[in-house]
Amino acid sequence: EVQLVESGGGLAQPGGSLRLSCAGSEVTFSNSWMSWVRQAPGKGLEWVAHIKPDGSEQFYVDSVRGRVTISRDNAKQSLFLQMNSLRAEDTAVYYCVSWGTVAFWGQGTLVAVSS
């Protein structure tokens, strides 16, 4: 079954760092724009970062720009989100998403930022 599997979430202190990973398959990665979308507890969806199929260009929402880096390794069908200077408002479930004529969502990984 085609799927995306996120990992790397957990509890972090304010100001700390986490690196999220997303493992996919050829079907989910090939020629696909990829994103990280987050959902704070009890809240709606927020697009965090977006990356071109070849990784040449990245886009960030203002609230994370300068603190977060999205990257990908197409040879390993992997997507990453390096998160630095974490804040309480970054607490959310982070979903890895592959966009194309078929869209795939992972199961999500929880990031909790608290002292």
Partner 1 sequence: DVVLTQSPLSLPVTVGQPASISCRSSQSLAHSDGNTRLGWIQQRPGQSPRRLIYDGSKRDSGVPDRFSGSGSGTDFTLKISKVETEDVGLYYCMQYKHWPHTFGQGTKLEIK
The strand ranges marked E within 9-84 are 10-12, 18-23, 33-39, 45-51, 58-60, 68-73, 78-83
Q: Which is nearer to partner 1, 45 or 114 (CB)?
A: 45
Should residue 107 be labelled a site residue for partner 1 when binding is judged by CB under 8 A?
yes
Of 50 and 72, nearer to partner 1 (C-beta) is 50
What is the three-class DSSP state of 76? helix
Residue 2's nearest CA partner among 106, 109, 99 is 106
- Judged by CB, which is closer to partner 1: 13, or 107? 107
Residue ranges that bind partner 1, judged by CB under 8 A: 35, 37, 44-47, 50, 59-62, 95, 99, 101-103, 105-108
